[in-house]
Every structure is written in C-alpha cells, then in structure tokens.
Chains A and B, each alone.
Chain A
Amino acid sequence: GEDVEQSLFLSVREGDSSVINCTYTDSSSTYLYWYKQEPGAGLQLLTYIFSNMDMKQDQRLTVLLNKKDKHLSLRIADTQTGDSAIYFCAESVDNFNKFYFGSGTKLNVKP
C-alpha cells in the first residue's frame, strides 16, 4: 500500500496553536484529508484539500499542502481541551476507490 506517515504524539497548552504534520508518497493523490477520532468513536471528517490547492482555511483549521515535498499539515488555532483526540491524515488514490491512512497523531491539550 501507500505510505502515509505521521508523528505519534503532540502535546500543547490550551490556547496555543497545534500543528500536525503528515507526509505521503503517492504523487497521484487526488484529495488529502484530515479526520478526527475521539475515544471510542469512529473517524469524523474534519476537512479536505484538493491536490492542486496550497492552502485551505476553515474557521480554526488551516490545511497547508506542499505537493513538491508531499507534505500536508493541519494547524488548529486557539487549541481547546475538546480538540484532544487522534488526528488521521489520509489520501485518496485510484479514482477514490482507495483511501490510505496514516497511523494517527494523538493530540493532548493541557489546561
């Protein structure tokens, strides 16, 4: 399968910005996604970006895509304790028939 890499843990203080990073290998990716998983729950789509875009902003979330380096990041502004969760990066390949996920980054927000 395709390789989607993420760091496993990130710890920040409430009110700070969080930046979660992801690298991928398939240059033919069409869309790249960020999902959030809270304990005991399924994955919830947070945002996605088309591969010909550099940036997408959605309220407190900013996605940056560097297609040359195959690097995707998710910035959460003014991080809150409710943002504590596991965040997964994913890419779609093969005309959306397959999605490949990273191993997830566990974000811990300290009060």
Chain B
Amino acid sequence: NAGVTQTPKFQVLKTGQSMTLQCAQDMNHNSMYWYRQDPGMGLRLIYYSASEGTTDKGEVPNGYNVSRLNKREFSLRLESAAPSQTSVYFCASSEVGGSGYTFGSGTRLTVV
C-alpha cells in the first residue's frame, strides 16, 4: 500500500547513545517532514525538506540532524540522545497544492 513507512516503531536508548530514524515514502512527494509529538503540546516541526537536496530547520531542531538521501527517503539522527528527546516521532510527506500531509505511524522513543 502507498504511504509513509517509518522504522523502528519502538526504541529505548541510553543517554548519550546515537541512533537514526528512517522514513520512506512511495508517493513521489517532493516535501518531507519530521515532527515530534509530546503530551499537551501537539506536533512540533523538527526539520523539513521541501525538495530533494534541501533541508531546513523547523521549530525545535536542536539535538537533531537530517539527511534527504533521495526523493523517497528522509532520515532523522540523534547524535547524543537526551531524556528530553523522549517522544513520539512522526515522519510525513506532502505534495505542493494544499492536499495536506500523509503521516507515518510513528516511532516511540524513550531515552533513559
């Protein structure tokens, strides 16, 4: 089925460890996004990529890096995880024109 695929679905890290969250979409969308969702705070944009080869910071980029590997894939890396990065991370993609996002099912990350 067409959509946005995120891996892994769950992850527990120790403080200071690094990891990469993977995201791939098969809808040929130009734009891709990483959000984090925390209770009572809605979704906050971490980074986005308006097209292949470009990335830009969102509201809360500190502690994260991204790579737009190709049109399909957009990864999010935590170089040195901190407990404040415990959250649910969502990847999304969209096409220009207002039809909204397609979201992945999320990665639940716990940093202890």
Contact = CB atoms under 8 A, between A and B. Distances in A.
Interface string B70-106: 0000000000000000000010101011111111111
A103 B101 CA distance: 17
Interface residues of A, number: 28
A45 B101 contact: yes
B111 interface: no
B48 interface: yes
Interface string B3-22: 01000000000000000000
B103 A88 contact: no
B105 A33 contact: no
Contacts, number: 67
A26 to B, nearest CB: 14
Given A41-B105, A43-B90, A98-B48, A48 B100 contact: yes
A88 B42 CA distance: 8
Contacts of B44: 1, 101
Interface residues of B, number: 29
Contact of A44 (B31, B56, B58, B103): B103
A107 interface: no
A92 B94 CA distance: 11
Interface in A28-45: 30-31, 33, 35, 40-45
A59 interface: no
A48 to B, nearest CB: 6
Interface in B19-49: 31, 33, 35, 40-45, 48
A96 B92 CA distance: 13
A40 B10 CA distance: 11
A42 B104 contact: yes
Contact of B42 (A42, A48, A96, A104): A104
B103 A102 contact: no
